[in-house]
Amino acid sequence: MPSLKSLRVRINSVKSTQKITSAMKMVAASKLRRAQTQAEAARPYAQRMERMLASLGASVIGSPTAPKLLVGTGADKVHLLVPVTADRGLAGAFNSNVGRMTRSLARQLELEGKTVKILPVGRKGRDFLKRELASRIVSDISYAGRKSIGFADAQDVAHRIVTMLDAGEFDVCTVIYNRFQSVISQVPTEMRLIPAPLPEAKQEAGSGAKAIYEFEPDEETMLARLLPQNLAIQVYRALLESAAGEHGARMTAMDNATRNAGDMIKRLSQTYNRARQANITRELIEIISGAEAV
């Protein structure tokens, strides 16, 4: 039986942990709201970009001079994986889900005889993959200590990917990130960046046949500009979804932790009260039997 004092200390320490986790939950909730608005605000640009790309891409896809960003290098030898994770932990399985998915993807690709390179975005993913796949990590990007990510950060990542592609360092690029499904569920997803999956030119209801666009300058110059921008947009989207997911995951994790701490406090106080009661009873018995003996 633990002593009364040690129980008291224990209860107090769990109580302060609970205070921290509930505060973290609150912080995550407000950050989640901000991240969600940011993700929402980025949507119109992405949609319109997709629409333009659909009408543009269709006209050059068959041509032999189609840009590398769209059709890839033609080979399928070297794969670049870009896992997007958070810079902080305490978010449940959020980071390790992406890590695990990256690891199994890398293993599978290597079994097929392909070379794998990894460019982790976010500190936690890097740390996770360093343990087993350190030799495949080419470089890493992290935003530790930053308040929020902007489009410039995504452009930076995209720029590095494009530079690597131009240098012929990989053939296929895949981003692995947590897709934000809802506050309680984030789905690790892989998204192919290069060669770019072409959005289908959707027939807009009401407008009848698809509009035939004139391009100024010509399609190829246009595509050469549009594709890097599109890449940045895709990266931006992944970063934002991941940020929203991170806060969602942390909120859930901290909610659970707060609840568990509550349970623990309940259990410990019960033990404490029992021990106290037992002590009192024992002392009473001692007094009574002492009095009887006199």
Partner 1 sequence: MPVDLEIVSPEKLLLSRPVDMVVVPASEGELGVLPGHSPMIVLLRGGTIRLYEGNRVTDQLFVSGGFAEVTPERVTVLANEATPVEAVSRAEGQRRLAAAEAEYAAINKLDVAALDAAMDRVQSARAMIEAAQAA
Interface residues with partner 1 (CB under 8 A) are 38, 41-42, 44-46, 48-49, 51-52, 55-56, 150-151, 154, 211-217, 221-222, 224-226, 229, 232-233, 236
Residue 21 C-beta: closest distance to partner 1, Å: 32
Q: Is the Cβ of residue 196 or residue 233 nearer to partner 1 in the bound state? A: 233
Q: The sheet that has 78-83: what strands, in order across it?
A: 115-118, 78-83, 172-182, 185-194
Query: Measured over all CA atoms, what is the biggest interatomic distance in the chain, rounded to whole angstroms?
Result: 113
Which structure tokens are listed for 234? Answer: 């895709």
Nearest to 81 by CA among 111, 116, 49: 116
Q: Is the Cβ of residue 121 or residue 226 nearer to partner 1 in the bound state? A: 226
Q: Which residue type does 39 have? A: A
Residue 200 C-beta: closest distance to partner 1, Å: 17
> What string of DSSP letters covers 102-168?
HHHHHHHHHHTT-EEEE--BSHHHHHHHHHHHGGGB---B--TT-S---HHHHHHHHHHHHHHHHTT
Q: How far apart are CA 170 and CA 34, in angstroms?
A: 36
Nearest to 175 by CA among 110, 114, 240: 240
Decide: 228 and 69 in contact? Cβ < 8 Å.
yes
Q: Is the Cβ of residue 221 or residue 256 nearer to partner 1 in the bound state? A: 221
Residue 174 C-beta: closest distance to partner 1, Å: 22
Q: Is the Cβ of residue 112 or residue 216 nearer to partner 1 in the bound state? A: 216
Residue 237 C-beta: closest distance to partner 1, Å: 9
Q: Is the Cβ of residue 112 or residue 214 nearer to partner 1 in the bound state? A: 214
Neighbours of 253 (CB within 10 A): 20
Q: Is the Cβ of residue 17 or residue 38 nearer to partner 1 in the bound state? A: 38
36 DSSP β-pair partners: none
Residue 34 C-beta: closest distance to partner 1, Å: 13
Q: Is the Cβ of residue 38 or residue 269 nearer to partner 1 in the bound state? A: 38
How far are the Cα atoms of 24, 127, 145, 199 from residue 142, in angstroms, in the given order? 22, 11, 9, 30
Residue 52 C-beta: closest distance to partner 1, Å: 6
Residue 195 C-beta: closest distance to partner 1, Å: 19
